[in-house]
Amino acid sequence: MEIDRIVRVDMTTGEITEEPAPERLRYLGGRALGATLLLEETDPTIHPLHRDARLYICPGFLGGTAVTTSGRTSFVFKSPLTGGVKEANVGGQLGHRLARLGIKALVISGASRSGWQRLDIDQHGVRLAPAPELAGRSNYDLHRQLVGEAVGARAAATIGPAGEHRMAAASVAVTDPEGRPTRHAARGGPGAVMGAKGLKAIVVDDTGAPRTIPGLRKDDFRQHVTRFSKLVLEDPRTHNLSTVGTAGVVRFVNRDNIQSMPTRNHRFGTWDRAHTISGQYIEELGATRGGKMLPCMAGCIIKCAILFNDEHGNHVTTALEFETIALLGSNLEIGPADAVAELDRLCDDIGLDTIEIGNAIGVAMEAGVLPWGDWEGTKRLLEEVRAGTPLGRIIGNGTVHTAATFGIDRVPAVKGQGLPAWEPRTLKGMGITYATSPQGADHTAGMVTARGVNAETLVKQSRHEQLVMMAIDSAGVCQFTNALPADLAAFASTRFDIPCDDEVILRMARAAIDAEREFNRRAGFTRADDRLPRWLREEPLYLPDGPAVFDIPDTLIDAVWA
Amino acid sequence: MEIDRIVRVDMTTGEITEEPAPERLRYLGGRALGATLLLEETDPTIHPLHRDARLYICPGFLGGTAVTTSGRTSFVFKSPLTGGVKEANVGGQLGHRLARLGIKALVISGASRSGWQRLDIDQHGVRLAPAPELAGRSNYDLHRQLVGEAVGARAAATIGPAGEHRMAAASVAVTDPEGRPTRHAARGGPGAVMGAKGLKAIVVDDTGAPRTIPGLRKDDFRQHVTRFSKLVLEDPRTHNLSTVGTAGVVRFVNRDNIQSMPTRNHRFGTWDRAHTISGQYIEELGATRGGKMLPCMAGCIIKCAILFNDEHGNHVTTALEFETIALLGSNLEIGPADAVAELDRLCDDIGLDTIEIGNAIGVAMEAGVLPWGDWEGTKRLLEEVRAGTPLGRIIGNGTVHTAATFGIDRVPAVKGQGLPAWEPRTLKGMGITYATSPQGADHTAGMVTARGVNAETLVKQSRHEQLVMMAIDSAGVCQFTNALPADLAAFASTRFDIPCDDEVILRMARAAIDAEREFNRRAGFTRADDRLPRWLREEPLYLPDGPAVFDIPDTLIDAVWA
């Protein structure tokens, strides 16, 4: 089997073609590969749901190897939410399986003319087939049928009803190691793009493929794998993540001097009931209900996924993450954890980005559509999204859309994408990243949580972290490994037997960011898009040492990529 | 009374200030004045509904004079529909009255903190007052109360429920000479901006003001007035307009070789029932029902407004214009004229742009929300807009919003604004104007209906017509006078006693267009926004001499303002 193939599926004609990745793309993967292909192949002014728009599904350049967490997958596309380039990054079992089958990029173009289709990929090839029986079905049901008992060899990537409705907040659900659809390529609407193509499910079975792809310099590669795992395991941050997941940060960020727990549509940064949605609270509940910490993909040694059961010990969700807790919890004044877990499951089932939906519902609550804290109402609203009612379609199209619908001008979004929990008024480096990332408001685009340093330093940190995250997302590893460019360089040089160091990695990352920015430029983005909404500069959060607004000057923001 | 004042109303504080127009603005009016002030005073990246956004209401530089049709008013603002500069131009009784009271620009800023307000303007001053009793009321009812019997001296500018809901397709209704709200500053959402400010109604009473403002070179001015009226009356186009209004073009543009009668969401350019919504058909109906042709403002000698009665002789509407007939009629496959007239009245009453709403409902029909031709369903939909239901809010926010809600990628809009009837695939000069006007898809921004000429010529014509229309919209006269720059120069030089010729007028127009373009540039617009939607290049209309798509090269489009 040819390794490192680009597989193209034309949904209009049903034609499937394969080509070996050309030399210039050979060492790219994940987000960088997707960005490069998108810029080369897709008209930047196209409507994101047009049949000629394309969806690039790319494992990282370490996908399929034994490097811990290296099975992450990048979904790259022109976003119906932002109108620019988007990478939605997802864990789960998909990436390793695609990579082991030698697939470096799966490119979906065209649009089905004969109803919903499924794509099956295994060692015998790639096959497209009508799948009318999958229409209208939600993710838990779908993954049970498409993966089920075969979870050891199979992974699916599916859209739920939200993707079928082509909603801008629609995700693609990827199978977790227990066969459930709890990992989501969520941000920016990949589910809508897949839905517009008429593709309901991709099922990948790597039976017969090598269990892991070895490095060309086998022994050196293996040494780096071992050394890296050791580093990760010894990192105290790993210990925290392994114990309470990302939910562990709730009690830190809810403090008066950070106020990064969005509450009441980001009006406040602390919530007096935050303890009921904290990692510690969830950990205590789990102790009596069979809760546990799981890896989101085979081979992950961090295991930050919280398996959350209800009081009867029945599974509710395996993805109760900080962003979900914040946006569907405190931001809507909904708690305790049980309530948020149920909302999370609904979002996973319907196929929705929890960050986008939490922001959209926050805006709807601000508009008076339902009261703050109305958990039952929020569940009903999510069911309207599933059903595709007018109100459901409003919410399902995200934050900006919901705000426009209800005439709300205080919109928590950058480049059309809803704000993550990390608060740009107190953690100003996050604001710089939100403003300048080609991805819009995206906390994973470059975390800068330093406080008490000057703006120039934050600008430098944001730029550096954005480059590092591009490298990490291109390797296909998890950001929680805290991999450094030098780590990735060691893997690249021994996997491909090429000269590589941290500077090469950072140059690759810069070229890929430049490709994303160039795509956005051609799509019509300007510096006016590299701005946070005005209310973040006008409405203070009140910290013990005084009011805080986002006050990084535009000139410094424009210096990030200058 | 100081003439040529700029009156500023801060809705937040209630403060009202006045200043004489500075020298550099003295000879500007209408659209050019609004564009200049907007660029100088408003942050181009502001949310259009933010309290610091501003609404500029400007009569033309001939407002208040005896020049026929010169009482038109420009509403200039950052558009919630396009995100760029917008001028919505309206006839009716408002402009002359403002001008006679010496008001050159009325600038509304801020946002009321104490509910709905009304603004009263007369010879004694400008007063803001709470008006809770006006809340929720529709335009026919409002104008009856606010103007009523006092129509000889009074005019109102009001928002209906759509403006209260801050919908992007919301208009501002202006009183016609019979006291009805049939003239609308419609395009781009001025009603939403007024609604966001908490301003429900502006009532202008010019009792005691001079009946007409004389020119400084009185006799020369009067001579030009007479000469111009004669020219207008002798023009055969005036004769057509006086007989059947703009509806007269239906039978011309419905022909096989023009196909500019949008049908089924612009999928076809002819409709087999077009005769039931044609000017001739309406004229015949009117003969037995008391239909007549009226001026939309005192002093207009063209009289293109069709007063349309029902079969019992009861008034239905006085604004059954070609664009309304096309977008709410053939585009939705709704007829005959009686049916469209009722939809038009509903839009006037609720306060909606008929072009935007016709496009939005066309998209909704394409999405299967209701069947083609469903008149009763369309009426119910408009009632949902009035009530502000979720579905009503979707439609009321216009074409692009409706398309996004329902995941439709074939969107009839340019720069966010719905397409007028004039078909860019057969009348390619219109496409050039739609693409390059700072206003988005706007047929009044520069009509170029020539066929059979080369693209370079169309580019030149579009540029010239856009400049001429800027001049006409700045003078405050009606485009149907076919006023030439030389005519406007003759009026300007004798009104203000300044040297002026056609070149001066065209330079002023170019400067104002440049101001609009600069505002858009700062708001984030690029060449990518100067494009028609891709389907107009892909989907042909079939003319007798072959298929027609919009095929003007991008390089030529970019040459319009190069």
pLDDT for A2: 47
According to the model, what pLDDT value does residue A1 have? 40
**CB contact at 8 A, A347 and A389:** no
Which residues in chain A have their CB less than 8 angstroms from residue B80's CB? 404
pLDDT at A376: 98
The tens digit of pLDDT for each residue in B376-393 reads 999 999 999 999 999 999
B1 — pLDDT class (breaks 50, 70, 90):
very low
pLDDT category of residue A3 using cuts at 50, 70 and 90: low
Instruction: Say which CATH superfamily domain B5-214 falls into.
Output: Aldehyde ferredoxin oxidoreductase, N-terminal domain (3.60.9.10)
What is the structure's pLDDT at A520? Answer: 98
Residue A356 C-alpha, separation from nearest chain B C-alpha, in angstroms: 15
- Span A103-127, average pLDDT: 98
Mean pLDDT of B311-330: 97
Subunit contact A47:B524, Cβ cutoff 8 A = no
Name the β-bridge partners of A203. Answer: A120, A156
Q: How far is CA A334 from CA A271, A353, A392, A436, in A?
A: 10, 17, 19, 31
Residues of chain B contacting residue A391, judged by C-beta atoms under 8 Å apart: 390
Task: Quote the minimal CA–CA distance from B201 to chain A in Å.
Answer: 19
Q: What is the mean pLDDT of residues A547-560?
A: 97
3-state secondary structure A422-479: CCCCCCHHHHHHHHHCCCCCCHHHCCCCCCCCCHHHHHHHHHHHHHHHHHHHHHCCCH
CB contact under 8 A, B407 and A45: no
Cβ-based contacts of B409 with chain A (< 8 Å):
47-50, 196
Examine the pLDDT at B325 and tell me if it is beyond 60: yes
ipTM, two decimals: 0.94
Classify burial at B530, counting beta carbons within 10 Å of its beta carbon; exposed 0-12, middle 13-18, buried 19 or more: buried
B100: left (phi over 0), alpha (psi -120 to 50) or beta: alpha
The distance of B52 to chain A (nearest Cα, Å) reads: 11
What is the radius of gyration, based on Cα positions, of chain B? 22
Q: How many Å lie between the alpha carbon of A398 and the closest alpha carbon of chain B?
A: 10
Write down the mean pLDDT value for chain B. Answer: 97
What local confidence, expressed as pLDDT, does residue B2 receive? Answer: 47
DSSP A263: B
- Is B83 near chain A, with CB under 8 Å? no
Strands of B361-494, DSSP E: 413-414, 417-418
For the stretch A28-55, pLDDT in tens is 999 999 999 999 999 999 999 999 999 9
Q: Give the C-alpha separation, A393 to B391, whole Å.
A: 9
pLDDT digits (tens, 9 = 90+) for B25-57: 999 999 999 999 999 999 999 999 999 999 999
Report the gap between the CA of A496 and the closest CA in chain B (Å).
40
3-state SS assignment for residue A202: strand
Residues whose CB falls within 8 Å of the CB of residue B244, separated by 6 or more in sequence, listed in order: B279, B280, B282, B283, B306
Tens-place pLDDT, residues A276-330: 999 999 999 999 999 999 999 999 999 999 999 999 999 999 999 999 999 999 9
CA–CA separation, A386 and A392 (whole Å): 7
Task: Indicate the residue of A50, A407, A529 with minimum beta-carbon distance to B192.
Answer: A407
Mean pLDDT calculated for residue range A207-231? 95
* pLDDT value at residue B372: 98
Q: Is the pLDDT of residue A67 over 50?
A: yes
Section A334-356 average pLDDT: 98
- Which residue in B192, B409, B522 is closest to A47 by CB distance? B409
Residue B3 has pLDDT above 90, yes or no: no
Chain B residues with CB under 8 Å of A405 CB are 390, 393-394, 397, 401, 405
| Residues A74-102 pLDDT 10s | 999 999 999 999 999 999 999 999 999 99
E strand segments, A22-102: 55-59, 73-78, 85-90
The predicted-structure confidence for B218-231, as pLDDT tens digits, reads as follows: 999 999 999 999 99
CA distance B448 to A313: 71
Q: Report the C-alpha gap between B90 and A196 in whole angstroms.
A: 40
Structure tokens at A31: 């987000």
pLDDT score of A20: 95
Q: Helix or strand or coil: residue B401?
A: helix
Confidence of residue A185 (pLDDT cuts 50, 70, 90): very high
Whole-number Å distance between alpha carbons of B271 and B254: 7
Q: What's the pLDDT score for residue A541? A: 98
Average pLDDT, rounded, for chain A: 97
Question: What are the residue ranges spanned by the domains of chain A?
Answer: 5-214
pLDDT at B480: 97
Any B CB within 8 A of A407 CB: yes
Q: From CA B100, how far away is CA A487, in angstroms rounded? A: 76
